[in-house]
C-alpha cells in the first residue's frame, strides 16, 4: 500500500505508486503490450490489448512529467452529484513521454498557467473531504515552475 | 454483408414532429404519441398500417416507446426501444430502414422522444472514478476538443460564435424550434463562460420533443406525394486510436486511427448512396456544441481540415449559400431532446427535399445528408434523395 496516512484516502486503488513513499518517486501505473508496444492508462482490468488483440500486457510506470495536449476550465458543477470537488476546476489531456495520452485534473487554482504544450508534473492532490473529514486524493498534473506557460 | 444495391429500396412515407422546447407538465409519452399522430396523418396512413416500431429515447425508462404507442393503438406489433445516446433517434431510423430493406416488414415507424432533465446532461456512461473526477461534463469534453482544434487549425472562439449566429438566424424561421430569436456575435461572446473557451451560447439548449418517420417499400406509399428515398442509413461506433472525449476515448499516440468514426460513417454512406459530398444540396450537421459543426463538416468531406471556419465566414453554409447547413436552426435553435434529435434532423431533410420548408427552403434541393453523433461514441449518417 503506497498510502500509509490514514487521513488520505485514494479515489481509486492501483492507478499510482510512490515506491519510496515520497513525492519524487510518484508514478502512474499503466500497461504496455508486449506484442505491439501500445501503452495504456488507466491500467486495464483484464490483461488484454484492445489494439492488437493479444493477451500480453505487462505493468509499467508512467511519468511523472508530461505536456498538456488540451484542457478546459469548467465553470459549473457537473450534473448528477458525482463530483464533490471545488468549482471551477480544470481537466484535460496530458501526453506522457512513454507515448500515451492521459485524462486528468490539473492541480491548483492558477489556471492562467494552463496552455497547450505546457510542461506538467504528476502530484497527488485532495479532490474533496469525505463525510468523516478525511481527504479523498487523486492524481493530478501541475504546471512546472518556469517551464512554458503564458508570459 | 449484403450490398445495399441488392436490397429493396425504402422510401419515407411520412414525417411527424412536435414543437421542441420546455413542455411544462406534458409527459414524454404524450409528446411521443403526438408525433405518431402527426406522422400517420402526413403519410395518410392509419395505425393498422404500421407493422413494427423502433423508438429512440435515453432518459424515459424501461419500455417507454410502448407507453407512447398505447396512446395510439394496440395491435400486437413488435415495439423495440432504442437507447444509443444522442444517436438514439438515428439508430431507430436505421433499424426501421433495415427492416424494410431486408423485406422483413413493408411499413415501419421510427420515432424518438424525450423529456429532458433540467440542467447539464448528467451523462453517466463513465467509470465511477471518472464521474467523481468531474470528467462527465460534455460541454468540457467538447471544449477540450475545441482547444485542440483551435491549436491545429487556427480557428477562434469568434468562428465558433458565427456557427451559433447562423443557426439561430435559421431557427428564427422554424416554428418548432426551442429558440426562434436570432443572436448577435457580441451576445454569444458575452454570454456566461461554461467551460473555457466555450460560453453558454456555444452550447445547444436542451428541449423536450419528439419526431417520427414512417418508412415503407415504394408500393406501400399511400400519399400521392412522391416518397423520399433513403439512399443510406449508416451507424458506426468507436475505432481504435481516435479520441472522442464525449464518448470516453482518447487518441492513441502510438497507433492513431487512420480514419475516424465520422469519416468512416460518411464513406460508407456515400458508397451506399453512390454519391459524393459534392452532390449534397443540404446538410444537417451535428452542432451540439458550436465548434463541432465546423469539424463535422470537415470530417463529412465537405471541405479540407481547417477550412470550415473560412467557408462559414464566406456565407457558404447559409441558406442561400452553396451548401446550406442546419437550415432548421440545428441543435443550437431546435434544442436537444436526446432520443428525438436524429429524427428531427431527418424531418428537416425530408421537408427540404419535398420543397415544403417555407421561408427556409433551399431552392431545388435534391439530396440531403443528416449526421448525428452520440456518446459511445456513435456516428450515424443518413442520406436522402428526392
The 10s digit of each residue's pLDDT in B191-200 is: 999 999 999 9
ipTM value, please give it.
0.92
Considering only CB atoms, A79 lies closest to which of B122, B251, B252, namely B122
User: What pLDDT shows up at residue A7?
Assistant: 72
Q: Give Cβ neighbours of residue A13 (< 8 Å, ≥ 6 apart).
A: none
Q: Check A38 against B252: CB less than 8 A apart.
A: yes
Q: Check A74 against B134: CB less than 8 A apart.
A: yes
Q: Which three cell numbers stand for residue B9?
A: 429500396
DSSP A44-56: PSSS--TTT--S-
User: What pLDDT shows up at residue A151?
Assistant: 43
The mean of the pLDDT values for chain B is: 96
Domain limits of chain B? 232-379
The 10s digit of each residue's pLDDT in A76-106 is: 999 888 999 999 999 999 999 999 999 999 9
Active-site annotation of B, residues? 86, 336
> Considering only CB atoms, which chain B residues are within 8 Å of A105?
133-134
What integer is the mean pLDDT of B195-224? Answer: 96
What integer is the mean pLDDT of B264-279? Answer: 97
User: What pLDDT shows up at residue A104?
Assistant: 98
Partner A contacted by B253 (CB < 8 A): yes
Rounded CA-CA distance B250/B265 in Å is: 19
What b/e sequence results for B218-240 when a residue is b if at least 16 CB atoms lie within 10 Å of its CB, and e otherwise? Answer: eebbeeeeebbbbbbbbbbebbe
> Considering only CB atoms, which chain A residues are within 8 Å of B255?
36, 38, 51
Domain limits of chain A? 8-143
Topology, domain B232-379: Peroxisomal Thiolase; Chain A, domain 1 (3.40.47)
Q: What angle do CA B174, B37, B228 make, to 5 degrees?
A: 65
pTM: 0.95
Q: Check A76 against B194: CB less than 8 A apart.
A: yes
Amino acid at each position: 500500500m503506497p498510502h500509509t496516512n490514514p487521513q488520505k484516502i485514494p479515489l481509486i486503488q492501483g492507478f499510482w505508486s510512490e515506491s519510496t513513499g515520497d513525492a519524487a518517486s510518484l508514478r502512474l501505473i499503466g500497461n504496455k503490450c508486449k506484442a505491439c508496444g501500445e501503452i495504456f492508462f488507466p491500467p486495464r482490468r483484464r490483461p488484454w490489448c484492445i489494439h492488437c488483440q493479444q493477451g500480453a500486457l505487462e505493468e509499467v510506470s508512467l511519468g511523472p512529467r508530461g505536456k498538456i495536449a488540451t484542457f478546459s476550465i469548467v465553470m459549473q458543477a457537473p450534473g448528477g452529484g458525482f463530483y464533490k470537488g471545488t468549482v471551477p476546476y480544470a481537466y484535460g489531456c496530458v501526453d506522457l513521454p512513454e507515448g500515451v495520452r492521459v485524462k486528468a485534473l490539473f492541480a491548483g487554482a492558477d489556471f492562467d498557467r494552463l496552455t497547450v504544450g505546457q510542461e506538467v508534473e504528476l502530484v497527488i492532490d485532495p479532490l474533496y473531504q469525505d463525510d468523516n473529514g478525511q481527504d479523498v486524493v487523486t492524481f493530478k498534473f501541475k504546471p512546472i515552475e518556469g517551464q512554458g506557460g503564458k508570459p | 454483408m449484403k450490398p445495399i444495391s441488392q436490397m429493396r429500396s425504402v422510401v419515407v412515407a411520412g414525417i411527424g414532429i412536435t414543437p421542441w422546447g420546455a413542455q411544462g407538465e406534458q409527459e414524454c409519452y404524450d409528446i411521443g404519441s403526438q408525433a405518431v399522430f402527426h406522422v400517420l396523418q402526413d403519410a395518410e396512413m392509419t395505425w393498422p398500417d404500421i407493422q413494427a416500431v423502433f423508438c429512440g429515447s435515453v432518459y424515459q425508462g424501461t419500455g417507454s416507446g410502448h407507453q407512447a404507442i398505447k396512446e395510439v393503438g394496440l395491435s400486437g406489433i413488435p415495439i423495440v426501444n432504442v437507447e444509443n445516446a444522442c444517436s438514439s433517434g438515428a439508430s431507430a431510423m436505421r433499424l426501421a430502414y433495415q427492416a424494410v430493406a431486408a423485406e422483413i416488414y413493408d411499413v415501419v415507424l421510427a420515432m424518438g422522444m424525450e423529456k429532458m432533465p433540467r440542467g447539464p446532461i448528467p451523462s453517466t456512461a463513465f467509470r465511477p472514478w471518472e464521474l467523481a473526477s468531474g470528467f462527465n461534463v460534455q460541454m468540457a469534453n467538447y471544449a477540450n476538443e475545441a482547444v485542440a482544434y483551435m491549436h491545429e487549425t487556427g480557428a477562434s472562439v469568434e468562428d465558433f460564435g458565427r456557427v451559433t449566429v447562423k443557426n439561430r438566424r435559421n431557427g428564427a424561421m422554424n416554428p418548432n424550434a426551442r429558440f426562434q430569436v436570432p443572436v448577435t456575435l457580441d451576445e454569444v461572446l458575452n454570454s456566461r463562460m461554461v467551460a473555457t473557451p466555450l460560453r453558454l451560447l456555444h452550447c445547444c439548449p436542451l428541449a423536450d420533443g419528439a419526431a417520427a418517420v414512417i418508412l415503407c417499400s415504394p408500393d406501400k406509399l399511400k400519399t400521392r406525394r412522391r416518397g423520399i428515398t433513403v439512399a443510406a442509413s449508416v451507424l458506426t461506433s468507436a475505432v481504435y486510436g481516435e479520441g472522442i472525449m464525449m464518448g470516453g476515448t482518447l487518441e492513441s499516440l502510438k497507433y492513431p486511427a487512420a480514419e475516424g468514426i465520422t469519416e468512416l460513417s460518411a464513406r460508407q454512406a456515400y458508397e451506399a448512396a453512390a454519391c459524393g459530398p459534392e452532390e449534397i444540396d443540404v446538410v444537417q450537421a451535428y452542432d451540439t456544441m458550436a465548434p463541432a459543426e465546423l469539424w463535422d463538416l470537415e470530417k463529412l468531406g465537405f471541405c479540407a481540415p481547417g477550412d470550415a471556419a473560412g467557408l462559414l465566414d464566406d456565407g457558404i453554409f447559409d441558406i442561400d449559400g452553396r451548401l446550406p447547413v442546419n437550415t432548421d436552426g440545428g441543435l443550437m435553435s431546435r434544442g436537444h431532446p436526446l432520443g428525438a434529435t436524429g429524427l428531427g434532423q431527418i424531418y428537416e431533410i425530408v421537408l427540404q427535399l419535398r420543397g415544403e420548408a417555407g421561408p427556409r427552403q433551399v431552392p431545388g434541393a435534391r439530396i440531403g445528408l443528416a449526421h448525428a453523433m452520440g456518446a459511445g461514441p456513435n456516428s450515424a449518417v443518413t442520406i436522402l434523395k428526392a
